[in-house]
Amino acid sequence: MLPQWFNKWNSENKTDIYGPAILVGACGAAVIVVVGLISFGQPYATDSLQTGPRGIGMSVPEFKVDLATPDPTIEAMYTEEPYVPEGGETLASEAYENVQVLGDLTEDNFNRVMAAITQWVAPEQGCAYCHGDVGIEEYGNDDLYTKVVSRRMIQMTQNLNEAWAGHVNANKEVGVTCYTCHRGENVPSDIWFKLGEVSAPMTGWGGVQNKVTVQSSYTSLPSDALEAYLLNGESIKVHDLEAHVDVKPTAVDYPAWQDAERTFSLMNYVSNSLGVNCVFCHNSRAFYDAGQVTPQWATELLGIDMVVEMNTEYLVPLQDVYPPERLGPVFADAPKAACRTCHKGYQQPLQGTNVIGNYPELATTGAPVYE
């Protein structure tokens, strides 16, 4: 029992003890949470990908838990170390008939590469996918379109690794193989065809937009951006930055608002293909200024030129080789590639896995270098 004078003084000088108590309790709880996060690992820890010079804030934050999530197709990738030639081995062109590419490989390495391509492209059908259900003595026949296409795709893969290393190996040596696009499927996912006018009631410019399509990344933006920029090689540009410019949209080389919409459609497609946002390549204060972009901008520019070559030199010319069921639904055109065909939503295909290391035969059109 407290003294009477204390009770009287306390009643005359009332103090709020609940506020400080709540504050102390909240601070204590926060300290406990911080200690717990430090002790057990921060579940939402982030990492930053530097996209420009240091000190100017050009970086992209990403959750580490997302970065740690592996591409499920990596584990399924078939690979086998090469046989280093000692000299004097039988060559594939000597052992088999009609070997138009890879004929200078030893028989063992040729069979190793063929086995890998089978696993990458047709794991269920096996060798019969390209050669048919015939004896090995008839494998030299070109009866099936799949074999003719495969031969050309080998040449395309060699060219990509040899001529486009600035894009393919921009960060480190990773290379590309058939598996980069096919992932165990006969037909790679994320190929595309020309669509033409997709809005039936309209024609002209209105006919190629305002309808959700795969080519426009499920937006109402123009659906012919891939055709314009990744097939026809048209110049990527946006509308004039000045207001009320006295130039007609029909003027030659004038960046009309139609070009701007088509550019936005392509950029949206690229962003979704790589799983990144705009500042991965651009400086947000000047999207249009090529002098203020990130290093990834140059890599992407190379990639666009590379895809144009893939489509015009390798894929489109195969149109007459394909059967009708492999051609486009509208124009019966050959299947074509774009960024998502390889990247599948990741910054680097197969998250930067070195796929070419065991396959130097696909890295060059010349003699492979074995290490």
Structure tokens at 150: 């495969």
Binding residue per annotation — 306?
no
Q: Which residue has the higher pLDDT, 200 or 258?
A: 258
Binding residue per annotation — 239?
no
pLDDT tens-place string over residues 94-143: 999 999 999 999 999 999 999 999 999 999 999 999 999 999 999 999 99
Same domain, 276 and 301: yes
Question: pLDDT at position 85, please?
Answer: 94
Question: pLDDT at position 41, please?
Answer: 58
Residue entry with tokens 């979704």: 272
Q: pLDDT confidence of 145, banded at 50, 70, 90?
A: very high
Same domain, 289 and 229: yes
Beta strands in the chain (DSSP E): 46-50, 59-63
Q: Give the residue-averaged pLDDT of 219-236.
A: 93
Residue pair 54/80 in contact by the 8 Å Cβ criterion: no
DSSP string, 241-263: SSSS----TTSTT---HHHHHHH
Handedness of CA 280, 285, 289, 293 (dihedral sign): negative
pLDDT tens-place string over residues 2-11: 677 767 767 7
DSSP string, 16-60: --HHHHHHHHHHHHHHHHHHHHHHH--TT-EEEEE-SSTTTT-EE
Closest CA to 214 of 236, 189, 237, 231: 189
| CATH code where residue 54 lies | 1.10.468.10
Q: Which residues pair with 91 in a beta bridge?
A: 106
DSSP string, 207-245: GGSSS--TTTTSSSS-TTHHHHHHTS-PPP----SSSS-
Question: pLDDT at position 49, please?
Answer: 66
Same domain, 195 and 173: no
**Burial environment of residue 224 by CB neighbours within 10 A (0 to 12, 13 to 18, 19 or more):** buried
- Domain membership of residue 25 (yes or no) is no
Q: pLDDT confidence of 56, banded at 50, 70, 90?
A: low
- Domain membership of residue 1 (yes or no) is no
Same domain, 250 and 364: no
pLDDT beyond 60 at 296? yes
Structure tokens at 287: 């999207």
Binding residue per annotation — 244?
no
Same domain, 184 and 249: no
Binding residue per annotation — 202?
no
Write out the residue range of the structural domain in which residue 105 sits.
48-189+344-371
Binding residue per annotation — 27?
no
Q: Give the residue-averaged pLDDT of 184-209.
A: 85
Number of domains in the chain: 2
pLDDT tens-place string over residues 159-187: 999 999 999 998 889 999 999 999 999 99
Binding residue per annotation — 1?
no
Same domain, 204 and 290: yes
Same domain, 359 and 337: no
| Integer Rg of the chain from CA | 29
Same domain, 207 and 242: yes
Q: Which residue has the higher pLDDT, 284 or 61?
A: 284
pLDDT beyond 70 at 214? yes
Same domain, 227 and 322: yes
Rounded distance, CA 44 to CA 66, Å? 10
pLDDT beyond 60 at 42? no
Rounded distance, CA 348 to CA 170, Å? 10
